[in-house]
Amino acid sequence: MERTESVSTGGKLAPIELTAEDQQQLSIALGGPERFWMLEESEFLTQSGCPPGELENWLAGDDWTQYNIRAVLAGSEVVGPHPHLLLRNQEHQATGRLFCPTKELLHENARQEGMASLQEYIAGRPWVDSCDEIISQLGAITAACTARELPTSEIKLLWRALWIAIDVLLQVPDRPREHMKRLHASAVAFSLAFQERGSPSPQSKYREARVSSRRALSEKHNPVMDGFPVLVELARKVCSHELATYMAEEVRLDADHFLDMLHMLAHDGADPATVENPPARIRVALTRENRRRKKIIRERSQQATDEEWEAVPGRAEDVESVAIANLDWQIGKRRLALPSDQTQAIEDELDGSDVPEDSGHDAAHQERVRRSLAADRTWGAKLRKSFSYLKKPKA
């Protein structure tokens, strides 16, 4: 049977005929059967809550985006998240359309799922305990907001997350009046603290940039949001974006200085209110750090002078040779199995030190040990033969 290409009908594409092979190829193109929904239209009505007879109006609204199946199979069209393949059987032939929910619908669904989860959680414990917990969290955020320990973006994220929980609490009937007063007072205190963060002065922007840099780098930041990893990651991205804007518009630096500026801000201990020209402070600090870094690189790359080499103990010009010789000696003495007295005598001579007076041996014994290392004695001959490769060639 000849395939029917999709055509536009009222701004939407009409269903196209799909063979079993088409469905399998589409499944692969969408990332596998676990990555998308394949539903009969009747199943979609039940799952989405769409009223019977309203499917076309439902799909034609602002919540769904339709994709051209042939273009998707050809790789010329990219599908959004959570794709839905809606099937319809007509005269023993399956036809289908491909839709994805918009971001707004996904966010609303996530919010509703979060609300349902919170409702279930709150229903399983005393309402007063849940209210006290939210009041405590509001107090912590308000204190951090007043102390300017949180960037504005992080405060907004926390407030939105808490407002969902507050909304759930307010839906419960017969709420204790005293706790409602405390909850309302906590919300008002937070609102006032947020409004009093200050005008957009250079000092306020500098303070905001400093707390944003600490969140972006996860250094010296207030841990009030650390229990929400998804929000933390989102806050870090938002803070990084706002810092990039601050650097371009206020500090007037290019992107190459971004990380240096973040580290400078995160570790700056000055009171922002006392900084007369914050952008100039950042530029001066970065210039100073750049000079310091160049100086270190320059000093490390310079050749040492003769005086500096002479100051190194143990014949500085032979440092590498000495290190190699010491390693050879450690290997050689184990291979020869030298007696401990002979080994100690050689190492004392290499170190340039005398045998300690309290060594437990008299002068005659020490002389015998030294004599045993002479070239005409057994140990002396073995040593010279074993380390003969270390002899310097004659000039």
**Single-letter amino acid, residue 121:** Y
Model's pTM, two decimal places?
0.45
Per-residue pLDDT at 3: 40
**Domain residues of the chain, as ranges?**
8-101, 108-291, 320-355+363-387
> Cα(62)–Cα(65) distance, rounded to whole angstroms?
8
Per-residue pLDDT at 277: 92
Per-residue pLDDT at 41: 86
Residue 155 CA, distance from chain mean position? 20
Q: Which long-range contacts (CB under 8 A, 24 or more apart) does 224-231 make?
A: 224/140, 224/141, 224/144, 224/150, 224/158, 225/150, 225/154, 225/157, 225/158, 228/161, 231/157, 231/158, 231/161
Q: pLDDT in tens for each of the 395 residues of the chain?
A: 334 444 333 347 888 888 888 888 888 888 777 677 888 888 888 877 788 888 888 888 888 888 998 888 888 888 887 888 888 887 777 888 999 888 777 766 666 665 566 566 666 678 888 888 888 888 888 888 888 888 888 888 778 778 877 887 888 788 888 888 998 999 899 888 888 776 678 888 888 898 888 888 888 777 777 766 767 787 888 888 888 888 888 999 888 888 899 889 988 888 888 888 999 999 998 998 888 888 878 777 766 666 655 655 554 445 556 566 666 677 777 677 777 777 777 777 766 555 444 444 567 777 787 887 787 777 777 777 776 655 555 44
Which residues of 276-390 form beta strands (DSSP E)? Answer: none
